[in-house]
Structure 1
């Protein structure tokens, strides 16, 4: 039996991580979601509709591209990109949002509620809501609203209500808290469409399954291009949905090395980074068990990343498990390294990447010189339209970040 069929177990655990720790009033609603998903996952009409959406609305399959110019600049390994930035709405997020919205339609729900950090999940869910004729409510921290203004405009244009979150750190963790509180009051008519492989069961499994299309496409495309499997597969990790999507195509291949890249931010002190797997400890957050960054009181710690979509003090339970068994190698990229990758991909490949994805590009750039004759496949999980105002206003046009 392959890995994906073994994990999680029926209670939603990946080893010691996962599960569902919910307020009593939400238990029946999450049970309903889990049971509905298990039915539709093997329903031929649901699968056919999702495949139609992926091809005719999302524009899948997205291509794999050889980053020839960047590879020559770095020397060593050849770098390839899985172009999820070309997925409709600009990131991988639409893969699970269309699936979650289709599930909501199947369940008779009228509204989609979610949190967002960088805004890509919010844009994708607002896109899905418009496609299916549903209401949409997106909770977003005020810090991220200021950083990711273009995505806020996109959500509103798509018909979503954007709810500013003004308590705590005013970023992704607080947006999750706010969205959960709103969902508590609307669970009969709405579905909480979690934006990553986090949260209570069944969402880590469900989001991974919807995102696995990325890995299966990339595996077949890379083999068609080169006749081989990639030697190394790299993706950024905040909650971890794009990484689990790409990893899904390679988890049963012992010859392919997998790398998750966390945000190391400005330094190693608490509050300067969001490198949960690197510095975290087992704990509970937002209704599930995972590795968590905590303060001296045991509470989720303040975090930082230049990329709004990665500044979360927890991480997907499956990533926590894959780290403990040594199946995936987890490293990090700093804000400075990320900016250098952002500018490099823009100038040498004609692709402006999301700051989230730039973490993975940065890691591949560090790896390449040490692996001559090998290949590195990077998940370019999103495009950088949303980041260009923030980057250029604060760091210019890359004059201080040349290779």
Structure 2
């Protein structure tokens, strides 16, 4: 498995996507990351690993996930035909299980004693706790206190699954701080622990590894769209925080310019406010969490406090491959506000009977906004990265539905 654009490997051997990515970390952590990279490249090619992962995808996760025609929504909007890639139907309710199974299996094959991770909305935490329970490895999840209060259903699930949940109260008590906390715990014993990063972010090899495990989304879209339409979609749309679900959906189509790829960032309360997480839209190249990428930062070079109604998207950085794809113009990065997101959440729920995660609702919001301007034979595939069970109480309170 390798990915290229114009014959250039993504990433290169040092883990760079153009000028982004790499390993901006202390020497002892670099040694641990290099160990993971070598083990990953060796283990992932073995028939044993490939067969075990394939079996779990099919019989545990429930892949392939369906490609559903949202007929009523398409008719209501009066433009493009909208299809939903139903990652919300995966076991644990989101795309996160794809790479969590891969990381947990890798930890087992490497003989690690504990898996450590961060989580924002809790989907990565639930998926990793699930995968660790399956393979029999202890799991420790770091989560910001703000997100713990917003995402109670996922918090309970993680505890039921046996994860040791660490509440992070420092800083903004959200995803960035959870990442910091998890990294610190990992550094205590990188020989015995493995840090299972929850997106296509962090030092090499994690942006590559997580992308590779998530690429099954785009591979399935390719096959399903040929079977359904006898062609590829005109648009593939996905929300972007760190960017794992989007990278999974986009990877199979990077060298096919006929397919427009749209990443949708959280505009929060508006791009003219300081309450957003639109990193690629308003950020600049810098470094964060051991990688070079676009970052939202202040005049002192410190990451800014960020906001999104979706806990899984409130991150001041973004995956290095997304940063590269922005610079070369292969992916168009747009935004959706909290208000548009809430509208999309309710619209999809009431028009199609599908309750989407608030993260995924950003991509749905783009489709709702843009589809009416497109022709009726245009095919838009929205990667519905997760379901909204975890968000239902929060949205009900926000909209006075209790």
Normalising by structure 1, what TM-score?
0.97
Per the TM alignment, residue 267 of structure 1 is displaced from its structure 2 partner at its CA by 1.4
* 1:36-115 alignment, distance < 5 Å: 36-115=39-118
- Say whether 1:383 aligns with 2:384: no
Q: 1:387 to 1:61 in 2, by over 3 A?
A: same
SS of the residue aligned with 2:85? strand
C-alpha offsets along residues 259-303 of structure 1, whole Å, 9 cap, x if unaligned?
000000001246310000000000000000000000122100010
Equivalent in 20, 32, 35 of residue 38 of structure 2: 35
- Distance in 1 (CA, whole Å) between partners of 2:268 and 2:299 is 20
- Distance in 1 (CA, whole Å) between partners of 2:3 and 2:32 is 30
C-alpha offsets along residues 322-349 of structure 1, whole Å, 9 cap, x if unaligned?
0000000000000000000000110011
Per the TM alignment, residue 190 of structure 1 is displaced from its structure 2 partner at its CA by 1.2
Moved more, 201-210 or 217-226: 217-226
Given that residues 93 and 195 in structure 1 are in contact (C-alpha distance below 8 angstroms), is that contact kept between their aligned partners in structure 2?
A: yes
SS of the residue aligned with 1:151? helix
What RMSD over aligned residues (CA atoms) do the two structures have, in Å? 1.2
SS of the residue aligned with 1:273? coil
Moved more, 180-189 or 314-323: 180-189
- Distance in 2 (CA, whole Å) between partners of 1:310 and 1:271 is 15
SS of the residue aligned with 1:344? helix
- Distance in 1 (CA, whole Å) between partners of 2:89 and 2:220 is 14
Normalising by structure 2, what TM-score?
0.97
- Distance in 1 (CA, whole Å) between partners of 2:370 and 2:109 is 45
- Say whether 1:369 aligns with 2:379: no
Given that residues 270 and 301 in structure 1 are in contact (C-alpha distance below 8 angstroms), is that contact kept between their aligned partners in structure 2?
A: no
SS of the residue aligned with 2:215? helix
The match for 1:401 is: none
- Say whether 1:281 aligns with 2:284: yes
Number of residue pairs the alignment of both structures matches = 398
Per the TM alignment, residue 253 of structure 1 is displaced from its structure 2 partner at its CA by 1.2
C-alpha offsets along residues 58-87 of structure 1, whole Å, 9 cap, x if unaligned?
111110000001101111100000000001
